[in-house]
Amino acid sequence: MSNTFNIRIGGEAGQGLVSIGSILLRAIAREGWYLFAHQDYESRIRGGNNYFQIRLANEPIATWVDKLDLTVSLDRATIGRARKNLTEDSLVIYDPDVFRNEELPFTPGENYIALPFAQVTEELGQPRIMANAVAAGAIWAFLSDDFSVLADVLGELFGRRGAEIVEGNQLVAKAGFDRVQGLASKRQKPARPEHPAERILLSGNDALPLGALAAGLKFMSAYPMTPSTGVTEYISRNGRKASVVMEQAEDEISAINMAIGASFAGVRAMTATSGGGFALMTEALSLAGSAEIPIVVVNAQRPGPSTGLPTRTEQGDLTFAVAMSFGDFPRAVLAPGDVEEAFYLMGDAFNLAERYQMPVVVLSDQHLADSYTTVTPFSVDRVEIDRGKVVSGAEGGPDYLRYKLTEDGISPRLYPGFGDGLVISAGDEHDEKGHLTEDGEMRRKMVEKRMAKQKLVEEEALPPVICGVEDPELVLIGFGSTKGAIAEAVANLNERGTRAQGVHLPQVFPLPASLEEILTGPGEKYVVEGNASGQLQALIASRFAWKPTGCVRRYDGRPINACYILNELKGGGACD
């Protein structure tokens, strides 16, 4: 089991929590630790209580934990919220100026360290805005005796703003480091990995667009919507290096139609949104299904209905994503569970979309989107590009049939302008040439042609990812960002003597046939998911006529971790 150290930086929006977190993440990763970090933030520009939580370890980790070893409080509310997660050994660094003329909500002692962040900054002749660097320096003292690593990171982060800004941040960070160094030296530093290796630090919203670029993305259009906006921003910053056109549309309807148009023209195209934006895209998804135009849509889930909790997490769009739109047409839904899987599944998404000329939805969620972790550098050689049944030359001649009736349902695809044939696509029902028709027999043939592809998609569905023992007495089944939580819960159960197995589904529609063997195999089965209605459970039941022993569900807008799963299992978690 890994040795972990858990840090929470809490305060109001606008106090620089993300800046502190970004500084520490880079320094921690550079020192060789594995890490997992996530954010809890309200949907307001200033105020409220938010936190940035970092877990570092000497072995790979893929989820967060409740227990806090070090809490940095920049406001009044953080200590109160964190209290239930503190132990007798936990440390709290707080700003006494926040509680000026007020009774402290705790009993001062050696575990509570007063550090006036802004005051320290001003004493050194620096602007108050640098106060967050004081906090970063103080935290670093409990992780390492080597301040130079943090100084180097500050130099890189602020280098473009000039030497004065860099030196100012380094100065105040060193002051924070020195202020707590005496106490920090008495504490054991977190264990480091025995064999440090090269690793990269990414969030889910970094990995998804990076995977799309590796898969040959050439056009993206989107309208900003939390928590998917990071995907758009990444392509906007980095897309030109890969000759990608990025367009911010006026709304989600325009965004998906632009992407469909680009795909029709012959390039790999995608869009990204969240539940409300995805709802606006459904008519265009049906157009892509009818016209058999490949398109990839990233749907980063957040709690609904309506605006719901815009900055929180949930897995409540599964049923919606599977239904996707009106009418019968082939589709697939993928659901990466971690940063590494997010990168590689984007290649699968584009290949499926182009091989079967259909829409593919990649389900993310706020927890995956905004969480950071360290991973082994990706191998671009693993990303295969399959553009499907594309024709040119003589095959794309005057007799070209865009919707030719074929045995497998896949018609030859000609990029407009790359042959002598005329490419006709329409949302109305059409004949093999693409001309509109209301002939009943042709309608029947076209429906059967399109749906023949769905059977092929099902036959090559991505297999479940298994962890734990082969002969379990308890099985946890989930999808998406529950992957790491399930894996850690399974490891914990096995250490306690309960033979446990975890099952993660990277493809949730169509479900792989191999899942049936697991469902009918040994052990009690529990479905773990972040919604109230049991959408994954219902989806599995509709495919395999199966009912689990019980379930673990969370729908308060907060992410599931191993502790939550284990506590729910103790309570029975019986399903309807």
Of 422, 504, 512, nearest in space to 461 by CA: 512
Q: How far apart are CA 133 and CA 143, in angstroms?
A: 15
Residues in the chain: 576
Which residue matches tokens 């148009």? Answer: 261
Q: SS3 of 27, please?
A: helix
DSSP code for 556? S
Please list the helix, strand and coil fractions of the chain in percent, rounded to the nearest 5, in that order: 40, 20, 35
Write out pLDDT tens, residues 102-147: 778 777 777 999 999 999 999 999 999 999 999 999 999 999 999 9
Residue 568's pLDDT is 97
The pLDDT score that the predictor gives to residue 571 is 76
- The mean per-residue pLDDT over the stretch 385-411 comes to 93
Roughly how many angstroms between the first and final C-alpha of the chain, as a whole number?
Answer: 35
**pLDDT > 60? residue 416:** yes
Contact present, 550 and 572 (Cβ < 8 Å): yes
Which domains are delineated in the chain?
4-184 (3.40.920.10), 201-382 (3.40.50.970), 390-459 (no CATH), 465-570 (3.40.50.920)
Choose among 137, 129, 52, 135: nearest CA to 95. Answer: 135
Q: Are 170 and 155 in contact (CB under 8 A)?
A: yes
572 — pLDDT class (breaks 50, 70, 90): low
Residue 503 near residue 518 (C-beta atoms within 8 A): yes
Q: How many Å apart are CA 369 and CA 364, to the nearest integer?
A: 7
pLDDT average, residue stretch 160-178: 96
- Which pLDDT tens digit goes with each residue over 52-103? 999 999 999 999 999 999 999 999 999 999 999 999 999 999 999 998 877 7
Measured N-to-C along each axis, helices 229-238 and 204-214 cross at an angle, to the nearest 10 degrees, of: 50
Degrees to nearest 5, angle at CA 15 with 14 and 18: 85
The confidence score (pLDDT) of residue 203 equals 98
Residue 337 CA, distance from chain mean position: 7
Q: Which of these, 81, 17, 71, 83, lies nearest to 46 by C-alpha position? A: 17
- How does residue 574 score in pLDDT terms, banded at 50, 70 and 90? low
Joined tokens for residue 232: 């758009």
Tens-place pLDDT, residues 434-455: 999 999 999 999 999 999 999 9
Cα separation values, 175 from 92, 133, 181, 315, 514, Å: 18, 9, 10, 44, 58
Q: Is the pLDDT of residue 196 over 90?
A: no
DSSP structural state of residue 376: P
Q: How confident is the model at residue 575 (pLDDT cuts 50, 70, 90)?
A: low
CA neighbor of 155 nearest in space, from 12, 27, 267, 68: 27
Residue listed under structure tokens 């969480």:
371
The two structure tokens encoding residue 210: 């990076």
**Cβ(56)–Cβ(4) below 8 Å:** yes
pLDDT at 1: 45
Task: Tell me the two tokens of residue 428.
Answer: 């109305």
Phi-psi region of 357 (alpha: psi -120 to 50; beta: other; left: phi over 0): left
Is the pLDDT reported for residue 378 higher than 50?
Answer: yes
Cα–Cα distance between 202 and 221 in angstroms, integer?
22
What is the C-alpha to C-alpha distance for residues 216 and 234, in angstroms, rounded to an integer?
Answer: 15
Number of H helices, E strands in the chain: 19, 22
471 vs 46, which has greater pLDDT?
A: 471
State the average pLDDT over residues 258-280. 98
Task: Extract the tokens encoding 175.
Answer: 């002051």
Q: What is the pLDDT of residues 292-344, one digit of tens each?
A: 999 999 999 999 999 999 999 999 999 999 999 999 999 999 999 999 999 99
Name the DSSP letter for residue 418.
Answer: E
- What average pLDDT does the structure give for the chain? 95
| Mean pLDDT, residues 361-389 taken together | 97
> CA-to-CA distance for 202 and 25, rounded, in angstroms?
10
Stretch 138-162: mean pLDDT, rounded? Answer: 96
Q: What's the pLDDT at 487?
A: 98
Q: DSSP letters along 262-305, please?
A: HHHHTSEEEEEE-HHHHHHTHHHHHHHHHHT--EEEEEEE---S
pLDDT at 32: 93
pLDDT the model gives residue 103: 79
Pick 194 or 345 by higher pLDDT: 345
